[in-house]
Chains A and B, each alone.
Chain A
Amino acid sequence: MYNKGTIIPGLIIFVLFVTFPIWFNGLKAGTLPKPELPPGGEKKCVMPVEYMRANHMQLLNEWRDNVLRDDNRTVVTVEGKKYRKGLQMACMQCHSNKEKFCDNCHAYTAVKPYCWDCHLTPKEAALKEETH
């Protein structure tokens, strides 16, 4: 073998790059995130759990267009309780702890939804209510 001096380091860099996850994780798979269920004890969501796990972002988008663009602000009723369509007005009513419910999984999968750039978490909303 020739040019060992550059080829072997090159190959090592390549292998390290490809196996990056292995040594980065150090064989620790980490804990699977578990979103906290509503503290209020609600059992039923607007859609089945499986659907919500896979499609909540699409549902939110749909709602958004309903409310903002189609002027379709029909109310969602779950177990007799009425909710206005909207992240703050519906979802966060039950899932009031964003950190434990949303961020848990989002951080795990590096999903950074831009919802919270504008929408207020219950915690944030409460913060400036008190000072007033």
Chain B
Amino acid sequence: MKYAFSFLAVIALILIAGLGSQIPGMQYFFGVAIPYLAIMLFVGGFVYRVMQWAKSPVPFSIPTTCGQGASLDFIKQDKLDCPSKTSEVVARMFLEIFLFRSLFRNTKSEIHDGPKISYESSKWLWLFALLFHYSFLLIVIRHMRLFIDPIPFWLSAIEGVDSMLQIGAPTLYLSSVALLGGIALLFGRRLVNPHVRYISLNNDYFPLVLIFAIGLTGILMRYFLRTNIDIINIKNLAMGLVTFSPVITVKIGAIFYIHLFLVSTLLAYFPFSKLMHMGGVFMSPTRNMANDSRAKRHINPWNDPEIKPHSYAGYEDEFREFMVDAGIPVEKELSAAKDEA
């Protein structure tokens, strides 16, 4: 029961923060020390991991071509799926990163009487993934309101759009609903779909459960467990953190520390887990290279020029007699070769 372990782990984290933050003096630990540590691990770890990747070269040009490449004038190139210029690569990567194009590619065929085949797309995974990632991004951006002052126009605009439906007070964020919905579906898929369940590891369930718990604690804090949740105090702490002058002067509800601790865990966990796909998606050589390897020479830094083919001279030496017999031109005539020998 791999997913059960993830639940236990997250419950343990919640207990640690919930109880720990109530011990006098520990607020500073949970409110300041842990977040600092987490963000340092996140940024440092992320940069470190990307640098580690960058240390290895891309020896060969190996784009996966998903359409017709650039060739003759009258053959139409599929510029997005088989890019040959940097601009086309950028377009391909953009669609890949922002619209998850590869996941969108799934098609299913159905045979009808006739027999006729029709195609429909099977795009649930794509939809859930898109929903989840975009709401996550929106939520991260939205939280910036707690970290910056004065708040720029665009941030208020995002906030406004996200709470467009004006449901309840404080207003319900659409992104919160989308995040929990998306994550529940991604999680449910891992449980219900037998082959996805079979390939899933602990480290697939854990981030899902963790992010779900983060969303849930956030919602609880915003709408339900409001005791000692005064956003002014919370922003004061957040602003203190980003201006390196953290202060905790007032009592803040335990739910806030739980939320913060879970976020810190996620940040610290991020660079050392599969969540690094956030950086990796930019660096995948099968996607971020132009299919121009015949038009432009790609350089492999560790290419060993000393590796030479079995030489023609050696080949001719071995088979000269037969070659001459068969009338195949040779570099050295039989007699000359013999003379040399």
Contacts and interface: CB of A to CB of B under 8 A. Distances in A.
- Direct chain A–B contact by Cβ atoms under 8 Å: yes
| Chain B interface SS verdict (over half) | helix
Nearest to B238: A21
B239 A60 contact: no
B155 A32 contact: no
A29 B240 contact: yes
Contact of B54 (A3, A27, A53): A3
A19 B241 CA distance: 11
B156 A112 contact: yes
B239 A18 contact: no
A54 B229 contact: yes
A3 B285 CA distance: 12
Contacts of A110: 145, 151, 155-156, 159
Interface residues of B, number: 47
Nearest to B249: A32
Interface string A33-64: 10000000000000000100111011011000
Given A21-B242, A61-B169, A114-B166, A54 B43 contact: no
Contacts of B43: 15, 18-19
A2 interface: yes
A21 B232 contact: no
A108 B148 CA distance: 9
Contacts of A125: none
Contact of A30 (B47, B149, B301): B149
A131 to B, nearest CB: 31
Interface in B143-161: 144-151, 155-156, 159-160
Interface of A: 1-4, 7, 10-11, 14-15, 18-22, 24-25, 27-30, 32-33, 50, 53-55, 57-58, 60-61, 105, 107-114
In the A-B complex, the 4 residue pairs with the closest CB atoms = A21-B147, A30-B149, A57-B169, A110-B145
18 contacts: A1-B55, A3-B54, A7-B283, A11-B50, A19-B43, A20-B147, A21-B144, A25-B242, A27-B243, A29-B243, A53-B232, A54-B229, A60-B169, A105-B231, A108-B149, A108-B232, A110-B145, A111-B231
Interface of B: 39, 42-43, 46-47, 50-51, 54-58, 144-151, 155-156, 159-160, 166, 168-170, 226-232, 235-236, 239-240, 242-245, 279, 282-283, 301
